[in-house]
C-alpha cells in the first residue's frame, strides 16, 4: 500500500484536477461521502443520532461540510461548529457552506475559547464528533482557540472521527504539532499517509484507519512514482521460493553465521535457529574453537566451523579461515553476541569491506562499524544493516530522540548516502533501500521487546538471502514475517509479555506458510471504501 506525503497528495490532487479534468469540488464530494460511509460501516447507523462536526479553515473544513450534508441525508441530527468566521471560507468550502445553510442543519460560529466553552454541554449529547479542523497541510503547532477545540474533542466520551488526518498530527512524520486530536476512526483520502501508520507515535492518535477512494486516477498514482509503502501480506507473500517436489537442501541455500562469544552463545544459536526456521537449506556457524562444544550440542541442525585462533571471541587473526568458510555460501549473517573486543571489531571491518556476498549486519557488528563510519559506504556486495534506534544513533551521530522523531527521513538518507539496505528496528520497523525506496512494517507488538528476538530476525533475513531473495525483498519479508510471528504468539496467549525468542523462531514456519497461502490475518487496520 502506497504512502503519500502531504506534498505528494497535493501533487496528485492537482494532477487529477488539471490533467484529468476532475473538478476539485467533485474530489471534495467524494471525500465527504466516503467518510460518511466509513462512519456507517464502523460506528453504525447515524439516523436520529446527534453528530457534531467541527469545521476549520481550508479544504478540510469543506470536507466537514459535505459530511454534515450527507449525515443529514441519512437522518442524523448534524450540528456544525465553525471555528472560523463564515466569510473566511473560500472556494469549494464556501460553496458547501452555502449548501448547508439552505438545509435545516444548525451552523454555529465558535471562534474563541468562550464560545467553545458554551458548546461543551452540547458535545455531551453527541453520538459521534467529526474533526474537520486541519488536514495534511498543517505545518505549525496548533494554538489559540483551535487548541481549545482539540482539547474538548479529546474529552469527548463518544467516538471522534478524523477527516483525512487527526488535526494537529504531522501527516509525514507522525509527530503531534502541539495539541493533537485523538481519534477512534480516521478516514484518509486517496492514499494513506506515512504519519498515520508510524508507531512513533502516529497510530496513537489515528485509531481505525480507512482509506477513502476520492477518484484520483490510478495512472496519476503510478506516474507519481511514490517510493514509500506499507508492507502487506498480499505483497510479500509471493516472494518466497517455491518448494518443488524435486528440491533438496542445496536448493535453498547455505548461510554462514558469525556470531556469539563467551557468555553470548545464545545470540548465535538464536540467529542460526531463525535461519533454519525460515527454510534455509544449510546453516553453518563459524565459532571460537573453545566454544565449539556448546554449539555442537545445542543445535543439532546447524554445522559448526571451529576457528583455531579465536578463543572466547571471534578474532581478526582468523580472517583467512572465515574467508575459506565463505566459499559455497550464499550469504553471511554477522553480529549477534559478538562483543566489542578490538580483535572482533577488526574482523568485522575487514569482512564488511572485503566479503563479496550478501550480508546481514546486526548488533555488535553495527557497533563495530560505528567506530569507523567511513567503512559503511559503498560496500562490495549488498549489505543489510539492522540497527535498533540506539545503534542507529551511534552510526549517525544523531541522538535517539532525533532518530525517533523522523524515522523515515533518517533511514532513507542513510541508505541512499551509504548505498546500503537498512532495517531500522522498533515499533513500526522501517526498511530503506539505496534507491530511496522505503517501507513501513505494520506487524509486531510490545511482547517482542525481549532479548534474542532481534537475533532471530538477523537469521531470518540471512536465511532469506541465502535462499536467493534480493536484499530488498529479504529485508521486507523478514521484518513482516518476524513481526507477524510475534502477533501470532500474542493471539495465542493473549498477554503482551513473556515471549521467548526461541518461541518466536518456532512460530516462523507456520507464519511463513500463512503468508504464502494468503491465510495470514490482516496485521494493519487500513482498509478501503468508496
pLDDT per position as a tens digit, 147-157:
999 999 999 99
Q: Is the pLDDT of residue 242 over 90?
A: no
Q: Residue 26 belongs to a domain with what CATH number?
A: 3.40.50.10260
CA 21 and chain centroid, separation: 34
Residue 172 lies in a domain: yes
- Same domain assignment for residues 273 and 172: no
- Same domain assignment for residues 222 and 257: no
Summary mean pLDDT of the chain:
94
Give CA separation, 305 vs 96, 251, 312, 452, in Å.
Answer: 73, 22, 14, 22
Residue 257 lies in a domain: yes
Helix ranges, 44-159 (H): 58-73, 91-101, 113-123, 144-155
For residue 377, give the DSSP letter.
S
- Same domain assignment for residues 442 and 492: yes
Structural domain total, the chain: 2
Q: Which of 208, 226, 244 is the last residue of a domain?
A: 226
- Same domain assignment for residues 51 and 153: yes
- Mean predicted confidence (pLDDT) in 470-489: 97
Q: Residue 517 belongs to a domain with what CATH number?
A: 3.40.1190.20
- Same domain assignment for residues 10 and 148: yes
Can you give the pTM of this predicted structure? 0.92
Residue 279 lies in a domain: yes
pLDDT of amino acid 529: 52
- pLDDT tens track for 94-131: 999 999 999 999 999 999 988 898 888 888 899 999 99
- Mean predicted confidence (pLDDT) in 13-38: 98
Q: The domain containing residue 387 runs over which residues?
A: 253-286+330-521
- pLDDT tens track for 482-520: 999 999 999 988 778 888 999 999 999 999 999 999 877
Q: State phi, psi for 528 to the nearest 5 degrees.
A: -120, 145
- Same domain assignment for residues 260 and 220: no
Instruction: Give residue for cell 483551535.
Output: 146
pLDDT of amino acid 391: 97
CA 424 and chain centroid, separation: 10
CA 433 and chain centroid, separation: 15
Q: Which residue has the higher pLDDT, 417 or 494?
A: 417
Other CB atoms within 10 A of residue 22 CB: 19
Q: Is the pLDDT of residue 138 over 90?
A: no
- Same domain assignment for residues 352 and 208: no
Q: Which of 226, 243, 273 is the last residue of a domain?
A: 226
CA 193, 218, 16, 42 torsion-angle sign: negative
Residue 412 lies in a domain: yes
Would you call 334 helix, strand, or coil by DSSP? strand
pLDDT of amino acid 120: 84
- Same domain assignment for residues 390 and 477: yes
Among 272, 188, 135, which Cα is nearest to 526's? 188
77, containing H or E segment: strand 77-82
Q: Helix 389-396 vs helix 407-418: angle between axes, to the nearest 10 degrees?
A: 50
pLDDT of amino acid 523: 43
For residue 183, give the DSSP letter.
-
Q: Is the pLDDT of residue 524 over 60?
A: no
Lowest mean pLDDT among 94-108, 114-128, 213-227, 358-372: 114-128
In this structure, the dihedral spanned by the alpha carbons of residues 73, 193, 228 and 443, taken in order and rounded to 10 degrees, is: -100
Residue 313 lies in a domain: no
Helix, strand and coil percent figures for the chain, each rounded to 5: 45, 15, 35
Strands 331-334 and 359-361: parallel
- Same domain assignment for residues 171 and 88: yes
pLDDT of amino acid 200: 65
Q: Are 217 and 245 in contact (CB under 8 A)?
A: no
- Same domain assignment for residues 197 and 278: no
Amino acid at each position: 500500500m502506497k504512502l503519500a506525503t502531504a506534498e505528494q497528495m497535493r501533487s496528485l490532487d492537482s494532477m487529477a484536477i488539471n490533467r484529468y479534468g476532475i473538478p476539485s469540488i467533485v474530489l471534495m464530494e467524494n471525500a465527504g461521502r466516503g467518510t460518511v460511509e466509513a462512519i456507517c460501516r464502523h460506528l453504525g447507523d447515524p439516523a436520529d443520532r446527534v453528530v457534531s462536526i467541527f469545521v476549520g479553515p481550508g479544504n478540510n473544513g469543506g470536507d466537514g461540510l459535505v459530511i454534515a450534508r450527507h449525515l443529514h441525508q441519512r437522518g442524523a441530527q448534524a450540528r456544525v461548529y465553525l471555528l472560523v468566521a463564515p466569510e473566511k471560507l473560500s472556494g469549494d468550502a464556501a460553496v458547501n457552506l452555502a449548501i448547508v445553510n439552505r438545509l435545516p442543519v444548525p451552523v454555529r460560529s465558535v471562534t474563541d475559547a468562550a464560545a467553545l466553552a458554551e458548546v461543551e454541554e452540547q458535545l455531551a449529547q453527541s453520538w459521534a464528533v467529526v474533526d474537520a479542523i486541519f488536514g495534511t497541510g498543517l505545518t505549525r503547532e496548533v494554538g489559540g482557540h483551535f487548541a481549545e477545540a482539540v482539547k474538548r474533542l479529546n474529552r469527548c466520551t463518544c467516538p471522534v472521527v478524523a477527516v483525512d488526518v487527526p488535526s494537529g498530527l504531522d501527516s509525514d512524520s507522525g509527530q503531534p504539532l502541539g495539541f493533537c486530536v485523538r481519534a477512534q476512526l480516521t478516514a484518509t483520502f486517496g492514499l494513506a499517509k506515512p504519519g498515520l501508520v508510524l508507531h512513533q507515535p502516529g497510530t496513537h492518535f489515528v485509531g481505525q484507519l480507512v482509506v477513502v477512494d476520492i477518484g484520483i486516477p490510478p495512472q496519476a498514482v503510478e506516474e507519481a512514482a511514490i517510493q514509500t509503502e506499507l508492507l502487506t501480506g498480499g505483497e510479500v507473500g509471493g516472494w518466497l521460493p517455491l518448494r518443488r517436489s524435486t528440491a533438496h537442501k542445496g536448493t535453498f541455500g547455505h548461510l554462514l553465521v558469525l556470531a556469539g562469544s563467551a557468555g553470548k552463545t545464545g545470540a548465535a544459536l538464536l540467529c542460526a535457529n531463525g535461519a533454519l526456521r525460515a527454510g534455509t537449506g544449510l546453516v553453518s556457524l563459524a565459532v571460537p574453537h573453545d566454544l565449539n562444544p556448546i554449539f555442537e550440542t545445542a543445535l543439532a541442525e546447524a554445522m559448526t566451523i571451529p576457528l583455531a585462533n579465536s578463543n572466547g571471541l571471534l578474532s581478526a587473526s582468523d580472517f583467512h579461515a572465515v574467508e575459506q568458510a565463505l566459499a559455497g555460501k550464499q550469504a553471511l549473517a554477522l553480529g549477534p553476541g559478538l562483543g566489542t573486543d578490538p580483535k572482533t571489531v577488526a574482523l568485522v571491518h575487514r569482512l564488511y569491506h572485503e566479503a563479496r556476498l550478501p550480508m546481514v549486519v546486526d548488533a555488535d557488528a553495527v557497533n563495530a562499524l560505528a567506530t569507523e563510519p567511513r567503512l559503511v559506504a559503498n560496500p562490495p556486495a549488498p549489505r543489510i544493516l539492522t540497527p535498533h534506534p540506539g545503534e542507529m544513533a551511534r552510526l549517525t551521530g544523531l541522538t535517539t530522540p532525533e532518530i525517533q522523531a523522523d524515522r523515515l527521513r533518517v533511514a532513507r538518507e542513510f541508505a541512499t548516502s551509504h548505498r546500503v539496505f537498512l532495517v531500522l528496528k522498533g515499533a513500526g520497523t522501517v526498511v530503506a533501500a539505496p534507491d530511496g525506496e522505503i517501507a513501513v512494517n505494520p506487524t509486531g507488538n510490545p511482547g517482542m521487546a525481549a532479548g534474542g528476538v532481534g537475533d532471530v530476525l538477523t537469521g531470518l533475513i540471512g536465511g532469506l538471502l541465502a535462499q536467493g531473495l534480493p536484499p530488498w525483498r529479504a529485508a521486507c519479508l523478514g521484518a513482516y514475517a518476524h513481526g507477524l510471528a510475534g502477533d501470532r504468539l500474542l493471539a495465542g496467549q493473549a498477554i503482551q509479555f513473556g515471549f521467548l525468542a526461541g518461541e518466536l523462531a518456532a512460530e516462523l514456519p507456520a507464519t511463513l506458510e500463512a503468508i504464502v497461502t494468503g491465510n495470514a490475518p490482516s496485521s494493519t487496520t487500513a482498509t478501503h471504501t468508496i
